[in-house]
Structure 1
Amino acid sequence: MSTPPQPPPPADQPVPQPGQPAPQPAVPPQPTAYPYPNPQSPPSGNFYAQPTLVGQAPPPHAGVPGNPYAQPPQYGPVPAPPPGGGGGAGRAVLWLAVGAVVASAAWAAGVFLLGGMSDSADLRGYSAPSNMCSRADYSSFKDEYPESDSSSTHTSLKDKALDESYCSLNLKKTGSSYADAYLSVQVDLHRKTDPGPEFTATWKNYGDSHTGYDVSPVKGIGDEAYLVSQDTTSGSTSGSRYATLAVRDGWVTYTMSYSAYLSSYNQDKNPPALTDVSDWLKTDTKATLEQLKD
């Protein structure tokens, strides 16, 4: 069984000639991703073989076997060229290093210019108010639900990744002591990530993940908008009517949702048709989005 070849000595340790001090390297050896010996290394015993490339370690037993006066070839880094002449190999190594630096800088600049490392959010002048109930426009619903709501609720969130503002309102018909319907409004300013792909996946395909809902795209509001609705009343004294208008404008998302439930205490106060509710949502959404840019 043959003995496996021994690994060559490290490239950063040049072999000195007999009787001479070891040369001082002027340029560090260049790293390589190729982990194996160079296939162009000269075979042992071939004095006229192609010389080893600069920076490559010598193969084992280099030189001419049987010739005690043969000097082993010099390996390792090339010494610095003398001032005023020569130095072609040194200049080649220098230009390779400069080219690598320039290429790295160009790549970094390209990534920056293309936005790969930028977190600039496309918020288009929108803001998320601390009290969404005071900024939301729902005037289209007030003919049907004229009673004022004294128990509205609102929340808000301020963070470097997300600004959010939410409002929940009780809608009451004339003379009602309890809510006849409910309205909620929410705006989200996405400061770190583009919500576009997930927004489209969620609302465009809402009918696939929720049984019994109708989904239709809405033109003329933001970059994209979807109306999601459901009516389970169908001539009975129970059930509900529901509609949500979801809008994305740049990195800002907005939803306005309506829901009404038939029950024993308000079955004589039928909720409005979903066609009317859909028109009100579109009108009030446009007005609210304009106000959120002030």
Structure 2
Amino acid sequence: MSTPPQQPPSSPQQPAQPPDQPPVIPAQQPQAAQPPQPTAYPYPNPQSPPQNPYAQPTLVNQPAQPQQANPYAVQPGYGYPPPAAAPSGGTNTAARAVLWAAVGAVVASAAWAAGLFLTGGFGDKADLRGYTAPANLCSGADYSSFKEEYPVDDSSPTKNAMKDPALDESVCSLSLKKTGSSYADAYLSILVDLHKKTDPGPEFTAAWKNYGDSHTDYDVTPVQGIGDEAYLVTQDTSNGSTTSGSRYATLAVRDGWMTYTMSYSAYLSSYESDTNPPTLDEVTGWLKSDTKATLEQLKG
């Protein structure tokens, strides 16, 4: 709300001043106090004009004008403060302080960048260790250990491949058949991922090491001697039966930024009554042997 104009107070006639004395300037009317403007600049605003002691006084019969915000004033948190203007005929103390502040900021930025470089903050190079993701993983993988139990080849396995600047991936899914079987007795799935932008290590460990926490009735066992880390995940719901339930096993491996899984699953109801399905110990042995052979082939 603006203040209504004030009437000029009546005052007695001012006596004439001697000619050799400077004129007496009437005192300015007090202005409404303005709250200080926030700023990240620690020194007086160089763009604010100096106060003129001989400026004309504000007319008392005019309402006080609100102070206009400086559109060029430095706002908190945005960039560096502008260099201070050198005072006429004096030492540029403020300018030198700002110069040293700017130099300090450059040095700090250089140290920050060097730290990121040393710690890999700008992005690590993918550690693929010579692995490839073939277009046809079904022909590029080794699963010969399963051939004695399942000698019949799958005539139409499912295979897919993808290449992207961030990820190369190959997938193979095939049916395992015993001699004389009309339908699949078991299934084998193989997956290889080449992570080219991000290190899969932490997420791989979290997902497979804790698989039993997120999936009910699965056993997780660390495996030594394959890649940087490997986990064997198994489940057997047959309860000793050879005609009901299922058996499942997956060997998951990480070697550098390459991840690999080979998974086996069998539904025992599909087996003939006079045959016994392989035990989990047999299956896990096949998975370990064929995984080692496949990883060697994927490096070639």
State the TM-score, normalizing by the size of structure 1.
Answer: 0.73
Task: Give the alignment partner of residue 6 of structure 1, picking from 24, 34, 37.
Answer: 34
1:119-268 aligned within 5 A: 119-233=124-238, 234-263=240-269, 266-268=272-274
Change over 3 Å in CA distance of 1:292–1:81 after alignment to 2: farther
Task: Give the alignment partner of residue 281 of structure 2, picking from 271, 275, 281.
Answer: 275
Q: Is the 8 A contact 2:242 2:277 kept in 1?
A: no
Distance 1:113 1:264 in 2: 57
Which residue is 2:24 aligned to?
A: none
Q: Is the 8 A contact 2:219 2:235 kept in 1?
A: yes
SS of alignment partner, residue 292 of structure 1: helix
Distance 2:292 2:203 in 1: 22
Q: CA deviation at 1:80?
A: 6.6
Q: Is the 8 A contact 1:81 1:90 kept in 2?
A: no
Distance 1:87 1:13 in 2: 16
CA RMSD of aligned residues (A): 2.9
Distance 2:139 2:88 in 1: 78
Identity level (%): 69
Q: CA deviation at 1:91?
A: 3.3
Which residue is 2:7 aligned to?
A: none
Which residue is 2:298 aligned to?
A: 292
Matched, 1:112 2:147: no
SS of alignment partner, residue 202 of structure 1: helix
Q: CA deviation at 1:145?
A: 1.4
Structure 2 residues not aligned, in runs of 5+: 1-30, 38-43, 56-71
Q: CA deviation at 1:99?
A: 2.0
Change over 3 Å in CA distance of 1:5–1:86 after alignment to 2: closer
The code of the aligned residue for 1:14 comes to P
